[in-house]
């Protein structure tokens, strides 16, 4: 089902963008996602005509910041029974909020609500004609991924889905070097917004340099337009560092992540469980400071994506 406001905005040439942040999923849907969404919406007000949140999947794709539906999305009672039944049949006893790209069509067919991943949101955005998408940090090659082959579907989706993804780099719990090598192999341009160094989510620096530093959002829009007008399909990754006042120390965070990895190993956590486990452990080990940084980088990415969408719409 089409969201008429969204399609009318796209048809009229208004700037349109998509947003998804993992901090809005799971317990955050109960404890604070409405507050986060409110700030995200306010953060881009005046920059963009219609900034969507591609999250709920049922018999249609829900995209929008309409007050009543956003409130409903954050209600912990929404579709809990049917969602729990399907989640357990797919994943076992633990409730999942995320809808991975390989099971998207199960949720659509079964008329079930869930929250899309980065890869799934990219796909839906492209289907809707949306060119710019903001998220916190992309997934990538996990540490030890050369052995486990634990590689996020985000990287494959970036290779063939024509959407620009604005993020604060890859999550620092990942192997950032191998993630960048994978993106290079798949032909995905990685551009820094005002930086020549790839950011590491909570941290402004990772030690990995980029080929090109964008001057501003207008230059980003010009590069996107040139790529797609030449018929070169596929996404572009725009790495937007967390604001300096909210950034965390890279070496200190590496120590925290090593401790979290050791805890995961001791608990026997692996596969799809590893990312949520590590992020939760990092939050605990930093006394909640990592979550505060996560929210600020989310706002920063939403503003950046909004400005790119405006510049892209202006042509």
What is the predicted pLDDT for the residue at 256? 95
- In this predicted structure, the answer to whether residue 3 has a pLDDT above a threshold of 60 is no
Residue 126's nearest CA partner among 155, 102, 99, 158 is 158
* pLDDT at position 7: 65
Distance CA 102, CA 42 (A): 33
Q: Higher model confidence: residue 150 or residue 158?
A: 158
Which has more confidence, 116 or 6? Answer: 116
Mind listing the pLDDT tens digit for each residue in 41-96?
544 444 444 444 433 333 233 444 344 444 444 444 444 334 444 444 544 544 45
* pLDDT for res 248: 96
Over residues 250-264, the mean pLDDT reads 94
270 burial via Cβ count (<10 Å: 0-12, 13-18, 19+): middle
**Of 202, 207, 219, nearest in space to 294 by CA:** 202
Third-level CATH fold of 4-314: Indigoidine synthase fold (3.40.1790)
Sign of the Cα torsion 27, 172, 288, 302 reads negative
Q: Where exactly are the structural domains of the chain?
A: 4-314
**Secondary structure tally for the chain: helices H, strands E:** 14, 10
For the chain, what percent of residues have pLDDT higher than 90?
40
Q: What is the Cα–Cα distance from 113 to 314, expressed in whole angstroms?
A: 35
pLDDT in tens, 107-145: 667 666 566 778 988 887 887 788 988 888 999 999 888
Predicted local distance difference test score (pLDDT) of residue 177: 96
Q: In this predicted structure, what is the pLDDT of residue 204?
A: 95
The closest of 201, 144, 136 to 171, measured between CA atoms, is 201
Q: Look up residue 170 and give its two tokens.
A: 């890859």
DSSP states along 162-200? --EEEESBB-TTB-HHHHHHHHHHTT--EEEES-SB--B
Distance CA 232, CA 228 (A): 5
| pTM, entire model | 0.81
Regarding predicted confidence, which is higher, 152 or 273? 152
Average pLDDT for 268-290: 87
Other beta carbons within 10 Å of 177: 15
pLDDT at 134: 86
Say which residue, 151 or 128, is predicted with more confidence.
151
Task: Give per-residue pLDDT as tens, 192-242.
Answer: 999 999 999 999 999 999 999 999 999 999 999 999 999 999 999 999 999
pLDDT of residue 64: 40
Q: Distance between CA 73 and CA 82 in Å, rounded?
A: 15
Across all residues in the chain, what is the average pLDDT? 77
């Amino acid at each position: 089902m089409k969201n008429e406001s969204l399609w009318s905005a796209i048809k009229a040439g208004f700037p349109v963008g998509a947003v998804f942040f993992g901090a809005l999923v799971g317990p955050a849907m109960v404890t604070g996602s409405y507050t986060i969404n409110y700030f995200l919406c306010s953060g881009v007000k005046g920059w963009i005509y219609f900034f969507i949140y591609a999250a709920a999947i049922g018999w249609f794709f829900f995209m929008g910041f309409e007050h009543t539906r956003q409130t409903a999305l954050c209600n912990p009672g929404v579709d809990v029974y049917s969602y729990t039944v399907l989640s357990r049949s797919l994943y076992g006893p633990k409730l999942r909020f995320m809808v991975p790209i390989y099971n998207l069509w199960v949720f659509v067919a079964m008329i079930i609500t869930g929250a899309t991943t980065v890869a799934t949101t990219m796909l839906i955005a492209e289907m809707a004609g949306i060119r710019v998408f903001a998220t916190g940090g992309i997934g990538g090659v996990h540490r030890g991924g050369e052995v486990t082959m634990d590689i996020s579907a985000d990287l494959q989706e970036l290779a063939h889905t024509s959407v620009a993804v604005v993020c604060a780099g890859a999550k620092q719990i990942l192997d950032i070097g191998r993630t960048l090598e994978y993106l290079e192999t798949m032909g995905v341009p990685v551009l820094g917004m005002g930086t020549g160094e790839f950011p590491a989510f909570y941290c402004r620096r990772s030690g990995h340099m980029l080929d090109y530093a964008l001057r501003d959002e207008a230059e980003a829009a010009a590069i996107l337009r040139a790529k797609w007008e030449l018929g070169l399909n596929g996404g572009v990754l725009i790495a937007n560092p967390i604001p300096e006042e909210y950034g965390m120390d890279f070496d200190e965070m590496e120590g925290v992540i090593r401790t979290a990895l050791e805890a995961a190993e001791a608990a026997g956590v692996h596969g799809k469980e590893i990312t949520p486990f590590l992020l939760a452990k990092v939050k605990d080990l930093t006394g909640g400071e990592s979550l505060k940084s996560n929210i600020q980088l989310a706002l920063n990415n939403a503003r950046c994506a909004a400005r790119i969408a405006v510049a892209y719409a202006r042509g």
